A and B are shown apart, each in its own frame.
Chain A
Amino acid sequence: MTMIKKLLTIVAIAALFASCTGEGGSKENSETSLSETIQTEIPVIALHEFDAKAGDFVDKEVYVEGIVDHVCKHGGKKLLLVSDEGDVHVESDTRFKDELVGSEVVITGLVTEFRVDESYCLKMEEDNIKSHSEGETDDELFDRKIAQIEYYRDSMNTAGVDHLSYYSLEYVSHVEKK
């Protein structure tokens, strides 16, 4: 009986410790206040202009406002921010809360660029053939990747450019609009 009492005391102390450190220790993305976040020197990019303007702000902080369409189910470190006119992917080192889905938020993030050029297409082509020949990917995925590579090349030819830029945001903080 004394043993059980001792054990319960240890569990109670551990629970108390956990409750004290739970808030401060958490690295889950939490909301900051509007006044804390909004700084006038950081530019605001409207979602419908994001693809057109993001190139001017690569590696710089911007504000983007939209509705959280979904949070990645695999780990919760990506979310899709949407509006009627556009969308942008936001990635983070830490998790987003599931409860953010459907919320209107202002996200502060660093603009990141992902470039697709001919060398990327060749590498993708090579990897696709290799993984398919080794049986790692099925016919459906193989064909889908071929179509994707074709799409990249067609897009570059149509636009007369040697690369395509895809922009996303690296999460810094967010404010939920009420």
Chain B
Amino acid sequence: MKKLRKWSRILHRDIGFFFIGATIIYGLSGIALNHMSDWNPNYSIDIDEFVTDIKLDKAGITDEKVLKLLDEVDNRKNYKKYYFPQEPYLKIFLKGGSTVYVNTKTGNGEKETLRKRAVFYQVNYLHYNPDAWWMWFSDIFAGALIFLAITSLFMVRGKKGAWGRGGIYTALGIIIPLIFLFFL
């Protein structure tokens, strides 16, 4: 038992240190993605309305007219492509994922500017397993979390250990998810 306790502490400590980064990545992205119905966790979105006099109807559309509009509402250097999703609407794609919509009949339009959220964009990107290597790393991390949970049972003895206060916390941590599972 003494040997088990000793190795539990050593491995819990060292593996814990190693996975501090991954824990923060999954913790932050977990919170961000839990609240997807309340916000866009990857981008902040600004919408600016405008009115234009430029004639952008499908029959007379040219790249130059689109660029002229971008001079008014954004920057022509950001131009990528345009198309008409349905009459009379024109959608212009800009670099960085931003878009411009124009009602070509009325001239009313909206510019939707996307900005990547610092830190959240990157941690969410990793959360969605972008790569086979990352998938293996995150599997190892998940296994390590189980290992950390098990070793924590053997790390401390006495009234603060698994047979004392630690045991009560462990039981609570198991009961709470079960309550959600069966009663909520």
Contact = CB atoms under 8 A, between A and B. Distances in A.
Interface in A1-32: 21, 25-28
A103 B93 CA distance: 8
Contact residues of A: prevailing secondary structure: loop
Interface string B77-89: 0001101110000
A21 B37 CA distance: 36
Given A84-B84, A102-B80, A67 B131 contact: no
B83 A67 contact: yes
B97 interface: yes
Contact of B42 (A69, A73, A84): A73
A104 interface: yes
B80 to A, nearest CB: 4
Contacts, number: 47
A26 B134 CA distance: 9
Q: Is the interface of B mostly helix, strand, loop or mixed?
A: mixed
Interface of B: 36, 40, 42, 58, 80-81, 83-85, 91, 93-95, 97, 99, 128, 130-133
Interface of A: 21, 25-28, 67, 69, 73-76, 82-84, 95, 98-99, 101-104
6 contacts: A26-B130, A27-B131, A28-B131, A82-B85, A84-B58, A84-B83
Given A26-B131, A74-B128, A84-B84, 10 more contacts: A25-B132, A28-B130, A28-B131, A67-B83, A75-B128, A84-B83, A101-B93, A102-B80, A102-B93, A103-B81
